[in-house]
Structure formats: C-alpha cells, structure tokens
C-alpha cells in the first residue's frame, strides 16, 4: 500500500508510538487515559501516509478492542501482532 508504519506497542501501563528507524519519534504515554493518550500519540500522523501496526503484550491485551476501534475511527489502516511480555522491541537505534 506504500504507507509508512506507525509502530505502537502496548502493555498494561504504557503505549509507545514510534516510526521505524526514527528514534526521535518515540513517545511513551500512559494507558491510564487510553483515549486521550492514543489521540495525542497519533494526532500528528497523516492517515493517508501512515498505517498503524500494533504490538500487544499479554498485559496490554485488555486494550486490544479499544485501540483497534480508535485507530479505525481516526481513519487509519490497522495491523497487529501479539508479542511476549518480556520481549523488548527496538524499532531504531539511537544516533
């Protein structure tokens, strides 16, 4: 589809937003206010240029339906994968 991925990983307390290979794009927000955190995390991304790829840890699975629905509500194409709780994902290396 030619769109760039906005990579979002979710656990029970945090939702991390990051573009691939752009460490300066990393934003970590609280899941405590999930709707406002999600909105804040995606508001600067053009849905015609970006698609969202979610990575859910087991502790963040409780937010699955809510964030999928929010992403679609904001007009993003969505993909997702489960990951292990202990798995650390590095989408980019710091300069």
The CB density around residue 17, as the number of other CB atoms within 10 Å, is 21
pTM of the shown model:
0.89
HSE value, Cβ hemisphere, 13 Å, CA-based, for 9: 19
HSE value, Cβ hemisphere, 13 Å, CA-based, for 83: 17
Q: What is the pLDDT along the chain (95 residues), one digit of tens a residue?
A: 799 999 999 999 999 999 988 988 999 999 999 999 999 999 999 999 999 999 999 999 999 999 999 999 999 999 999 999 998 877 776 65
Q: Which of 71, 73, 7, 64 is nearest to 38 (CA)?
A: 71
Distance CA 81, CA 55 (A): 5
């Amino acid at each position: 589809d030619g769109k760039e991925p906005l990579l979002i990983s979710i656990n029970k307390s945090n939702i991390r937003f990051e573009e691939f290979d752009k460490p300066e794009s990393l934003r970590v927000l609280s899941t405590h206010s999930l709707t406002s955190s999600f909105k804040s995390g995606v508001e600067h991304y053009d849905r015609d240029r970006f698609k969202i790829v979610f990575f859910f840890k087991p502790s963040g699975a409780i937010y699955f339906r809510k964030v999928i629905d929010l992403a679609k509500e904001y007009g993003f194409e969505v993909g997702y994968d489960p990951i292990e709780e202990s798995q650390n994902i590095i989408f980019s290396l710091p300069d």
